[in-house]
Amino acid sequence: MYALGRPGLQFDTKNPVWMPKTNFLALVRDARLAELETRYDDATSVLTISRDTESQLSTDLSQPAGRAALKTFFGTFLSDDISGPPTLLKADGHSFSDLDDKVISLINLESVRAVAAETGRDIDPIRFRGNIWFDGAPAWAEHDWVGCRIKIGDIRLEVIKRTRRCGATNVNPDNALRDENIPATLQKT
């Protein structure tokens, strides 16, 4: 629903088109974002941002003052990395995601464990920013699902492609440091 564009981003919210994530504040370029935890309440339009369990901001995005507070917060928080406050965008019905298609990401926890075994370190599944995590399938079984239909509860989904992983997965969600090369490990395994 919302996105924070890099300062000065030109984006037509009335006629939104997909843009690469590098145009927005995202882990791929802004590792410090991993220091924050966010919660959005759709019923109240309130976004709450915490850092180390301490509240940093709670603001109503339906109000001009709330939107201004959010831009000021991120402009200050990322002041070493961006050249001013970001552009707050809202485009109803548009998906600000990694792909032009409206998709969800499925994460096989057994595959995550295989990556951890390869690296010799615990790998938090959060690095993969999935929408649905599942267990019970062998590692990498999901690669064979492309072109198949699957059912989750009463919902039927079509698996359209494997997710290409970028440098955002290198960011440790516990400390915001780039401490692994997950894309290279995935290629290797």
pLDDT-flagged residues of the chain (< 70)? none
99 belongs to a structural domain: no
Residue 97 falls inside a structural domain: no
The pLDDT value recorded for residue 58 is 98
Residues with Cβ within 8 Å of 15's Cβ and at least 6 positions away in sequence, in order, are none
Does 56 reside within a domain?
A: yes
Same structural domain, 140 and 62: no
Please check whether residue 184 lies inside any domain of the structure: yes
For the chain, how many structural domains are there in total? 2
Amino acid 108: pLDDT:
97
What are the tens digits of pLDDT across the range 38-83? 999 999 999 999 999 999 999 999 999 999 999 999 999 999 999 9
Residue 95 lies in a domain: no
pLDDT at res. 106: 95
Whether 151 maps to a domain, the answer reads yes
Residues 27 and 56 in one domain: yes
- Say whether both 47 and 78 belong to one domain: yes
pLDDT value of residue 67:
96
101 part of a folded domain: no
What does the pLDDT read at residue 18? 93
pLDDT digits (tens, 9 = 90+) for 56-65: 999 999 999 9
- Which structural domain, as residue segments, surrounds residue 68? 2-90
| Domain end position, chosen among 90, 118, 137 | 90
At 48 the pLDDT is 98
One domain for residues 81 and 112: no
Among candidate residues 51, 66, 90, the one where a domain is terminated: 90
Residue 100 lies in a domain: no
